[in-house]
Structure 1
Amino acid sequence: MRIITTAALLAGCTTSVVAWGAAGHEIAATIAQIHLHPSVFPNMCAVLNFTSTNPNEPQCHLAPVAAWADKLRYKMRWSAPLHYVGAVGDHPSQTCAFPGTRGWEGKQNGNVLGAIRNVTTILEDSVYYRETGKTSASQYDAANEALKFLIHFMGDLHMPLHLTGRDRGGNSNKVRFSNRQTNLHSVWDGLLIAKALRSVPRKYSQPLPSPKIEYALRGTIYDSYVRMIMWEGVLGKWEHDIPTWLTCPAPTGTRSVSFAFPSSFGAFWRQAQLVWNRVMGGTMDTDDDLICPYYWAQPIHALNCEIVWPKALDEPPYNNTRLDGASSEHSHHEFVSPDTELAQVDSAGRFVAGPVGGPYLELDTPEYSGVISKQWIVEKLLAQAGIRLAGVLNYLFADIEDPEEAKLWSRGLRIDF
């Protein structure tokens, strides 16, 4: 079992990490759910072992398991490096290497890029064995964990600070947000989202004229935020960009994977094509022409030099605010619920008062958080995470006879809102 092999290889690892906070992971998962083909639900929910007790909620939801990998991180120490990736020599904002000439830090493929490839392959295998009626209890358990990891890792991939190893992804860099001491990672982890949740126009507290969107919502504190992202972003400013979000360039010298495989041989031939792609070469052995975490991550990583990592942190007086004795490993904070995350920001969008030290760089400014908000950077990352996750799940679990129709759903080009 691949997941057991990975655990064995990484046994003894003691790091842990959180990317988006619980709210960010759940928002991305909710956006993914909106974009799923109807036939995905029975197959996906069977893997998640979901049984509804609410007659008005017959389908399972992705959001409740989106932060599962963080909640149980103390029991899964081996999984810690799989939440992020760092390149040797990567040092934003001055240098953004991904990976550059010196490769990746840590063990080969023992990062979020390799993890997405790994758990997707486990799920491909589980689909094949389920279709042939040969699924064992151990394979069922592996598929259950792999799916929950996939939902989580796709969120991790879209948090820029999880794509750099500098200063533990910004955990070691003290800053201020609304005059309160925090760190750069925590600003992106939840504070920017918490602040954004407080600024959603009131009109989005009401249902949208889209049953598919509303059916995916669960009466949470971020429902209005999801509505706004969908209405103004996915169905608005990004509508014509979404097909490019799901594009994977075919590795040089390979042919495109066909969706016309007989159902009983689908997983086998998809795996054979993946092996062929890797033998023939390509930028990363994590990528093929259907699922390409490295290709998707490149522009997200570039944000670290463009805006995420303030240049002022490398200049006096803020270049001496790094935590003393900090290791090179990513760190974490205690898992908190979306409601707790939101409570950090008051109704006026100000960070609730807390300890102040310094001098620390203030990031809740028009030049930093203001630009991020105005350009919808966080909202776009959450939407990309959700739509790419939906594309992968549609590819894995949708029962669609027409191969062209299947391709449209896996590429986010066929959705009825």
Structure 2
Amino acid sequence: MLPRILTVAVLAGCTTSVAAWGAAGHEIAATIAQIHLHPSVLPTMCEILNFTSKNPNEPQCHLAPVATWADKLRYKMRWSASLHYVGAVDDHPSQTCAFPGTRGWAGKQGGNVLGAIRNVTNILEDSVYYGKAGKLSAYEYDAANEALKFLIHFMGDMHMPLHLTGRDRGGNSDKVLFSGRQTNLHSLWDGLLIAKALRSVPRKYLQPLPSPKIEYALRGTIYDSYVRMIMWEGVLGKWANEIPSWLTCPAPARSHVRALSFPSSIAEFWQQALFVWSRVTGAMDDTDDDLICPYHWATPIHALNCAIVWPKALDEPPYNNTRLDGASAASSHHECVDPATELAQMDRAGHFLAGPKGGPYLELDTPEYSGAISKQWIIEKLLAQAGIRLAGVLNYLFADFEDAEEAKLWSRGLRIDF
């Protein structure tokens, strides 16, 4: 079978690894996803999320406010911590990027972000089926609510490169400097690079775009101008011809693992979820089909760790002895930091306020590192891919197309009016 584009996604002519990202990155990706939703999707999603705005001038609900829910629940649902990332045992960027490598994934087998995306998608697919049949109980609505919030978050996580490598807890153990401020490589990608990018958005994007569809999805946040820039110059500009390939999935060798019958209670929901996750290894044959393919989408994102994310200098004197020791794997994921807090760490010129220095630590706010990332629009492209792929999955799950022809038009972006 030839590869095919996700037929219910929105994008082709409108002309997505974080997670993940800190709060700003997750919310930006969710906002981009909302821009690309089919009109019939939001009412169903708002019902599942149990929120509908009474303001006629704004959408019924927004995805962004729930985009970090899964991070906040990590400490209450300890078993879910490993679902935010995936790491290969043989992975050692910048020299070797193995995905997954001969010895498989680090951590619990199947308990990773790729298997998690597959599983919550299956659960939501079942909820749509049973919902149309009028058979969803209150418990089942709660299960679908949690599965949807997990999906919104996990799609963001998958697009942050350091959430895909097993080395040094995804860079959490590697101290670096950014504009003189001590941090670690993971935190730099979680929020500091985005915070600096927000400071450099041209002032013209403070004004609304001539696109009601884009403006309707914005919420008056500190990153609205950044979303406008990504959409206008990226999605509608330099990446317009690439976007169909972002949603393309190769045909898998065999069918992916399915969830069991839809649960009758929250307890049964999580019991089934844990059972299915324990069976999903995270390799392509287990997670990917010809419509949704987290392993296929994540592979080139993971390769960025060797291409640019992981500095070679961290393995060379004098910086190869600055790695943190004794940090537990359970604390490998980032803390959720508000975008305004991240920006408060910078002065008016966009430079980070200096913190305590140790080291020596490698400075990464340089033309060769942060400058190259900015120039190549790497962060912006990852956020766009996360949002667009999330929209594709949500449209697949919830869109009510009139016929196959309408679905085909949407998959080519011919029905998108920005």
Question: Is the shorter-chain TM-score for this pair beyond 0.5, marking a shared fold?
Answer: yes
Partner residue, 1:152: 153
Residue by residue over 1:94-129, the C-alpha shift from the partner in whole angstroms, topping out at 9 and shown as x without a partner, is 110001211112233210000000000000000000
Q: 1:116 to 1:253 in 2, by over 3 A?
A: closer
Matched position secondary structure for 1:74: coil
Q: Distance in 2 between matches of 1:73 and 1:252?
A: 33
Q: Distance in 2 between matches of 1:80 and 1:92?
A: 23
Contact 2:19 2:85 in 1 (8 A): no
Conserved in 2, the CA contact under 8 Å of 1:395 and 1:406?
no
Task: Say if 2:109 is the partner of 1:115.
Answer: no
Moved more, 339-348 or 164-173: 339-348
Is 1:139 paired with 2:140?
A: yes
Give the Cα–Cα distance (whole angstroms) in 1 for the partners of residues 329 and 312 of structure 2. 20
Is 1:28–2:29 an aligned residue pair?
A: yes
Q: Mapping of 1:8-87 within 5 angstroms?
A: 19-87=20-88
Say if 1:104 and 1:183 are closer, same or farther in 2 by CA, change over 3 A: same
For residues 294-309 of structure 1, the aligned pairs below 5 Å read 294-309=295-310
Q: CA deviation at 1:72?
A: 2.2
Are the equivalent residues in 2 in contact too, given 1:20–1:188 (CA < 8 A)? yes
- Which residue is 2:417 aligned to? 416
User: 2:400, 2:21 → 1: CA distance?
Assistant: 31
Bigger mean CA offset, 343-352 vs 302-311: 343-352
Residues 321-330 or 204-213, more deviating:
321-330
- Where 1:91 maps in the other structure, the secondary structure is coil
Does 2:218 correspond to 1:217? Answer: yes
* Distance of 1:115 and 1:414 partners within structure 2: 31
CA RMSD of aligned residues (A): 2.1
* 122-131 vs 283-292, greater mean Cα deviation: 283-292
1:414 Cα deviation after fit: 4.0
Judged with a 3 Å threshold, the aligned counterparts in structure 2 of structure 1 residues 411 and 300 are, in CA distance, closer, same or farther, namely farther
1:398 positional shift = 0.6
Q: Quote how far apart the aligned CAs of 1:334 are.
A: 3.6
The count of corresponding residues between Structure 1 and Structure 2 is 378
Matches of 1:329 and 1:176, distance apart in 2: 24
Output the CA distance in 1 between the equivalents of 2:69 and 2:54: 21
Matched-pair identity in %: 86
Taking the TM superposition and a 5 Å limit, the aligned residue runs for 1:344-383 are: 344-383=345-384
Residue 186 of structure 1 aligns with an amino acid whose one-letter code is: S
Alpha-carbon distance in 1 for matches of 2:164, 2:45? 28
Take 1:395 and 1:22, find their aligned partners in 2: how far apart are those partners? 26
Contact kept? 2:59, 2:217, Cα under 8 Å? no
| Contact 2:36–2:391 (CA under 8 A) maintained in structure 1 | yes
By how many angstroms is 1:404 displaced? 3.6
State the alpha-carbon separation in 2 of the partners of residues 58 and 234 from structure 1: 22
**TM-score (normalised: structure 2):** 0.87
Amino acid at match of 2:311: P
Instruction: Classify 1:20/1:413 alpha carbon distance in 2 versus 1 (closer, same or farther; 3 Å).
Output: farther
Partner of 2:166: 165
Letter in 1 for 2:395: N
Normalised TM-score (structure 1):
0.87
Letter in 2 for 1:294: Y
C-alpha contact (below 8 Å) 1:166/1:328 kept by paired residues: no
1:266 aligns to what? none
**Aligned 8 A contact 2:22 2:335 in 1:** no
State the distance in 1 between where 2:284 and 2:61 align: 36
Say whether the 8 Å CA contact 2:182–2:355 is kept in structure 1. yes
SS of the residue aligned with 2:368? helix
In structure 2, the residue matched to 1:183 is 184
Partner of 1:235: 236
1:314 offset after TM fit, Å?
0.5
**What amino acid sits opposite 1:80 in the alignment?**
A
- Map 1:211-290 onto structure 2 (within 5 A): 211-252=212-253, 283-290=284-291
Distance 1:134 1:111 in 2: 31
**Structure number with higher relative contact order (C-alpha < 8 Å, ≥ 6 residues apart):** 2
1-structure distance, mates of 2:42, 2:329: 41
- Partner SS for 2:87: coil
Specify the SS of the correspondent of 2:75.
helix
